[in-house]
Structure 1
């Protein structure tokens, strides 16, 4: 009780100090200064405002890159402090790493709404750049309006929001039979407040690029290295959102109803590693999602209210019924004793996930220097399915997937933003996290099936401070006590190899960030940031026996990092950029005597040094008026890192472990990687039409990603884009 009173007193004191400073500022500042400040803010773009706030955010504006054939994951990978890890080509699962955190510790949003309700339909691995206005990448503290239990950061995909009619279409054709198309349009009915629109995209790739694998020599029966083509990795998806509504009415600034449909069909070439290929395993996913969005400002524009609702039913199917296995040459090997490839018992699972999400946001400007806001996100999940080949409870014989399971999550936040004497700005946030699960818990060999439920709640706190040194430079510092709730998939398991665990605890972390930024528009930009992380109760997947896995609270991780990003306009038509990231993330507090030797070892499968560079040139009015010719070069480097934790004394020596090799088996090391990309595009009519060509992995280097999955070699891409507005 005394502890609660102490925390309450500290929070009250912080709020009182902020209010006191802000009131003094109002009394002392002249009306002229307030008007001047408003004029300056209005002159900045939304991207500039977000990137210069107290909470650290990297902003990728798509306007200057939408003509390129680059994917969203490639663009994000060019940002310091971030790596996107995939397990194959187009459409493969993506795992984003931000300043020491990855996986489910990083959250994703679409226009400020958590993306869970769209399943895999709007993932960063398939969303085209042309559909977006900008990408906001938060490292550490999240603003109040992004309601999620993120420990390490978030990515907010902001779609285009035009006030005018427009039509934008693009088509890309590339190596490996890759085709990508987008279609985006908005039409406002003349002399009314009504509008209608459509956002859609299509992706397909055979992903049949060459990879280096080991196969058994038929004569010697020894393993040998060979180069083969991926032969079962086709990916196809369709996504469409039709929407309509009204704007600028008496009762709503925006009332928007949307209907989203997506369909995904993916062949699975292998599992978590490339050790064993599959030849017939297929996964499918589809969903129909109605949405509603309401926005209104009132009380003389001081108050801002928005409400988002979505109800979705996502159907996921897994087909693994081949009485066979395959080798890397694509040869089928019949085996009547097997029911499937990935699972010897086979799988024909059909699972329905029902999801409801409500997001309520409210903000109120107390005065020109202060704003208070609140955000509440409530989400429910219900899962039920069936699998005639799937696991069953031993005594009842029930299919595990037919047992209903439920999951509720609530994340709330209240924030106060203050500005003091034009130099100092502050954001203070209180957060609340709650989750509840219910279902049937049992060991697969247990005679009992127990109806269980579990719930937990946590509080969080965050503070971000920015101090302007000059008109063009500032320092900012932020800290938070963050929580990540267990996801429904971690609690429920998958009904195959992953067992349920209704006793999972939330992950928790202390995060600190310090940064400096200086910039002169159209001249240069320099930004340096450091971070510290200390996380406990990290949820990891661990084996419970020779067959089954389970998510458990296991790891503790601490570390620090440094990242730098710089760009300079060498000429009006020539821009050079460079960035690097170093992060030292290590396990600590290991109690298991069998692995105590791994104390202070680096986190597995995690790059600790990487960077990149870019060079762009653009010339206007080259052949005719209002045309533009652009050429570009991108470079990415990833230093050697380790597939599994290794003792610290076996790590690479030298300065920060950069440039040398570790004293370990080469199979445990992912080697240095160098990726070069070049491109050329030509635009007409003030960028309304464009044609481009791009070569990725110019030197056909061997590149690897998540758990040493080999990426594509050299590829050629052609892209055309047409826009009317």
Structure 2
């Protein structure tokens, strides 16, 4: 009986699907056109395209129909379709952009990036299309966004710290196409991805939507790669100062009839990082540092990283919008000039210690709009990674900045501390399932589940502590369940989302005893509840108010609890962080109908964190600690003005007040150390069309970045005039020439034009003036 009933239901569903006209609407660049109108003019039956540009018309009878597809800012398209025996093939409609001039008024449609910006969440979107010719990596692009500050210990491949509206490090989660990057290792970090491998970057400041599922405490960054169903090839190579080479190949082949799709993303980065720095050399006779600074050249700081990501699968099928299976191979190699967490520059450089890693990843992803029933949208992924890390510090030589060395100067130790040749294997399983259902245009519900399981095993032939701690697997299991409800009212001018998240955490870890040959085991189980609300109201189409709140939780990470086996020691007694995050913002968007226009955003934020996990640098025995209470408050603003698609001026600035809020602490109301509190940027670009030939463009861009001086240590214990990182003002100039509508591209960049001395994270000196030349070739059947 059940089998018969199931058969009847399947037949009914098949019959219904056969009477359904489905399709997708895109613009000339292959981007979806959400909100496009689809109308059968003879019958008056119609619908609107969803956020992916997809639509369905149900219960069509046999016969011919005149179909009209239109969207604001695009020329309408009409065609005749015929339904025979209840069957019609899916449609792919491409609309051509148009401009309608009436008293200097131009009406255009909203892009997907604009729709994301207009969400209730405090979110910024960087569209990478205009940046693909730049030699910048993702970190450098993010550093131009208001509210974000990224500091590096040096040149390419060096450690960095990302801060977003007062919270930094692991509190800000990074994703690539919704998959957490936190566990992919240093070879797949933000400072490795070149600009032309990405399509856009979404930055959520504060409350994070449930589909980006992780224990983010203060925001998330999602890198989106190009997944349009088009054929393209994107190849670039750049050559720069300090023997810097950056190459990338990004391509996709898509067959529309079968949906068969293959894509590849790859990059190669190398730099010698042999830039000059100023240090006070040690006088061997007196044993004191020189009063004056001397210029030396870094000589053991080279970096290499490589990645290839290949995927194959199907797109635009009736049962799957996208189903892809992929593999990733990546590795990197870093020479260490000194302890990465050292303060300032050491008088004695490191000449042989290295850090290298490799990772293998298998990923599966699936997404489908209208799965089984209309308005049920499903996305999921499963990722397995196997990563190896090797840190070597066994040299007994003592190096000087001229490259000379003394043999066997410290026969019982390495260059950074105790001798170590540490191997660490990290296995990770990540999985996510997200379902969203639109009850009607005013009510939407969604559910999300994510799993993250980590296992660490390692060995060290020189350090018994590492052998003991990692001889048996250290495991960590995280699970997050989320639910959200969205309501739209007042003709969609008011949109409110409420959400809740349940976090489950299980840690099984080892820690060596004082004698380093016995295991102390820790078994920690914990669960936390998070919740929040995000709401936005359009006073009129160009004026939007946003407000959001989230009770967020974050559990300690493996590095924070287990250490790195070399310079960071374990602290398995760390407890989870909790933060109450508040955002209030205003967004003003001048009419797109003018030949010039502006967008202005102001965002006020508060982050009230308990058990704040902070890094405590202590020479080669650094570790992470819990601060009882930390309060961050501030404002970030962004302003962008454009004129006739020629001149563009972007201004961003952030003021951050980040303080110890523990009334029982002697450091109460002190600013947190090593955290900038005032920074901003000014970016000006000017483009000229049809230079030397038709369809060519010349663009000059000027990028200015300012960071105010700040204390490296707690202000109340820092001596007057010492322990500060000085203010910095840098200026970059980039000239880009594009020919044949962007097929051939040439870019020349001068960074730090005035050769300013830049001191950054832990008071490390960054490279001075540098030059970079980038060549890029882009070919697409839908550019």
What is the match of residue 579 of structure 2?
A: 509
- Which residue among 660, 682, 686 is the counterpart of 1:587? 660
The answer for unaligned runs of 5 or more in structure 1 is 1-30, 651-662
Helix, strand or coil at the partner of 1:392 = helix
Deviation at 1:325, TM superposition (A): 2.2
Distance 1:286 1:268, change over 3 A: same
Corresponding residue for residue 360 of structure 2: 288
User: How far off is 1:435 after superposition?
Assistant: 1.1
Provide the C-alpha distance between the structure 2 equivalents of 1:338 and 1:197, rounded to a whole number of angstroms: 52
- Note if 1:68 corresponds to 2:142: no
3-state secondary structure, aligned to 2:267: strand
CA displacement at 1:339 relative to structure 2:
4.6
Contact kept, 8 Å, 1:338 with 1:346, in 2: the verdict is no
Q: 1:151-187 deviations in whole A, cap 9, x for unaligned?
A: 1111111111121111010111000000001101111
Equivalent pair of 2:242/2:271 in contact (CA under 8 Å): yes
Residue in 1 that maps onto 2:613: 539
SS at match of 1:215: coil
Taking the TM superposition and a 5 Å limit, the aligned residue runs for 1:11-160 are 43-160=109-226
Q: 1:132 to 1:447 in 2, by over 3 A?
A: closer
Offset at 1:37? 11
CA distance, structure 1, for counterparts of residue 165 and residue 614 of structure 2: 19
* TM-score, with structure 1 as normaliser: 0.89
- State the TM-score, normalizing by the size of structure 2: 0.82
1:575 to 648, 665, 676: 648
SS of the aligned residue for 1:75 comes to: helix
- Aligned residue for 1:524? 598
Distance in 1, matches of 2:565 and 2:514, equals 10
Alpha-carbon offset, residue 599 of structure 1: 1.4
Could you tell me which residue of structure 2 aligns to residue 653 of structure 1? none
Query: Deviations along 1:331-352, whole A, 9 cap, x unmatched?
Result: 2222354355344431111111
- Give 1:493's match in structure 2, choosing from 558, 563, 573: 563
d(CA) in 1 for partners of 2:476, 2:607: 29
Deviation at 1:300, TM superposition (A): 4.0
Q: Partner residue of 1:673?
A: 728
Structure 2 equivalent of residue 192 of structure 1: 258
1:721 and 2:776 equivalent? Answer: yes
Judge which range, 131-140 or 556-565, deviates more: 556-565
After superposition, residues 339-354 of structure 1 pair within 5 angstroms as 339-354=412-427
* 1:437–1:502 Cα contact (<8 Å) kept: no
Return the alpha-carbon distance in structure 1 between the equivalents of residues 619 and 269 of structure 2.
38
Deviation per CA, 1:648-698: give whole Å up to 9, x if none: xx9xxxxxxxxxxxx944331111211000111110111111111110000
Which range moves more in the overlay, 113-122 or 254-263? Answer: 113-122
Residue 4 of structure 1 corresponds to which residue in structure 2?
Answer: none
Name the counterpart of 1:478: 548
Task: Give distance in 1, aligned partners of 2:170 and 2:544.
Answer: 32
CA distance 1:459–1:236, change in 2 (3 Å): same
Provide closer, same or farther for how the CA distance between residues 182 and 668 of structure 1 changes in structure 2, counting only shifts above 3 A: same
8 Å CA contact 2:311–2:327 kept in 1: the answer is yes
Does residue 335 in structure 1 map to residue 390 in structure 2?
Answer: no
User: Is the Cα–Cα contact under 8 Å of residues 322 and 339 in structure 1 kept in the other structure?
Assistant: no
Distance 1:432 1:115 in 2: 21
Change in 2 beyond 3 A, CA 1:301/1:340: farther
Once the two structures are overlaid, the 10-residue window that deviates more, 446-455 or 312-321, is 446-455
Cα 1:392–1:516 change in 2 (3 A) is closer
1:229 corresponds in structure 2 to 297
Query: Residues of 1 paired with 2:361 and 2:649: CA distance?
Result: 43
**Is 1:268 aligned to 2:336, yes or no?**
yes
Note the C-alpha offset of 1:541: 4.2
Which residues of structure 2 form unaligned runs of 5+? 1-43, 52-70, 75-108
**Contact kept? 1:117, 1:357, Cα under 8 Å:** no
8 Å CA contact 2:474–2:509 kept in 1: the answer is yes
CA distance in 2, matches of 1:234, 1:163: 39
> When the two structures are aligned, how many residues end up with a matched partner?
672
Partner of 1:659: none
Q: Distance in 2 between matches of 1:178 and 1:550?
A: 33
Aligned to 2:746: 691
Deviation at 1:495, TM superposition (A): 3.6
Aligned pairs for 1:655-666 within 5 A: 664-666=719-721
Aligned 8 A contact 1:401 1:495 in 2: no
Residue of structure 2 equivalent to 1:320 = 393
How far did residue 109 of structure 1 move?
0.2
Q: Counterparts in 2 of 1:149-228, with a 5 A limit?
A: 149-189=215-255, 191-224=257-290, 225-228=293-296
Q: Deviations over 1:492-548 (max 9, x none)?
A: 2334454444432210011111111111235111111111111110123458x9985
Contact 1:454 1:503 in 2 (8 A): no
Q: Name the residue aligned to 1:372.
A: 445
- In structure 1, the residue matched to 2:61 is none
Partner deviation per Cα, 1:184-238 (whole Å, 9 max, x = no partner): 1111246422111211001000011111112112455431221111111100011
Deviations 1:396-435 (A, max 9, x none): xx54332321111112211112111122111111011121
**Contact preservation (8 Å) 1:454, 1:502:** no
Matched with 2:498 is 428
Which of 457-466 and 289-298 deviates more? 289-298
Query: Counterpart in 1 of 2:327?
Result: 259
1:58–1:450: structure 2 CA closer, same or farther, 3 Å change rule? same
| Structure with higher helix content | 1
Whether the 8 Å contact between 1:621 and 1:627 is mirrored in structure 2 is yes
Shift of 1:330: 2.4
CA distance in 2 between counterparts of 1:720 and 1:88 reads 25
Structure 1 residues 228-237 or 409-418, which shifts more? 409-418
Q: What is the rounded CA distance, in whole Å, between the counterparts of 2:631 and 2:416 in structure 1?
A: 36
1:300–1:41 CA distance, 2 compared to 1 (3 A): farther
**Range with bigger deviation, 98-107 or 216-225:** 216-225
- Match for residue 62 of structure 2? none
The CA deviation string for residues 102-161 of structure 1, in whole angstroms up to 9 with x for no partner, is 011111000011113422232111110100000111110111210011111111111111
Distance 2:324 2:49 in 1: 35
Aligned to 1:631, the other structure's residue is in SS state strand
Name 2:464's counterpart in structure 1.
391
For the 8 Å contact 2:312–2:326, the answer to whether it is kept is yes
2:503–2:529 Cα contact (<8 Å) kept: yes
